[in-house]
């Protein structure tokens, strides 16, 4: 559902689109103009702001109860989860 929403925001920003065959015959390539203001303003900025707030609160909690190596492991674990989510949703 999230992937479809992201695609919808990006699609709303496509001004004109053309698909052309690559010169090296490896497939097709999208060419065209796009304006991602809708995606950036209605999805990306709010998502980043909320993520910043969420991880700031989590980080404060981790600092209060974990020592340095544990804190770093927790951060690494969450970074890996975010990378997996990005791969899945995008």
* pLDDT tens column, 55-86: 999 999 999 999 999 999 999 999 999 999 88
* pLDDT tens column, 28-57: 666 666 677 877 888 889 989 999 999 999
Evaluate whether 35 touches 13 at the Cβ level (below 8 Å): yes
The predicted model scores a pTM of 0.59
Residue 16, pLDDT > 70, answer no
The CA angle 13-46-63, to the nearest 5 degrees, is: 145
pLDDT at position 25 = 63
Nearest-angstrom CA–CA distance, 21 and 29: 6
pLDDT at position 86 = 82
């Amino acid at each position: 559902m999230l992937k479809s929403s992201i695609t919808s925001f990006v699609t709303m920003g496509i001004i004109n689109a053309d698909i052309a065959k690559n010169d090296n015959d490896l497939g097709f390539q999208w060419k065209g103009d796009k304006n991602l203001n809708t995606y950036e303003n209605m999805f990306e900025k709010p998502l980043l702001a909320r993520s910043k707030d969420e991880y700031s609160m989590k980080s404060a909690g981790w600092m209060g109860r974990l020592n340095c190596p544990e804190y770093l492991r927790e951060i690494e674990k969450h970074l890996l989860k975010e990378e997996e989510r990005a791969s899945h949703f995008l």
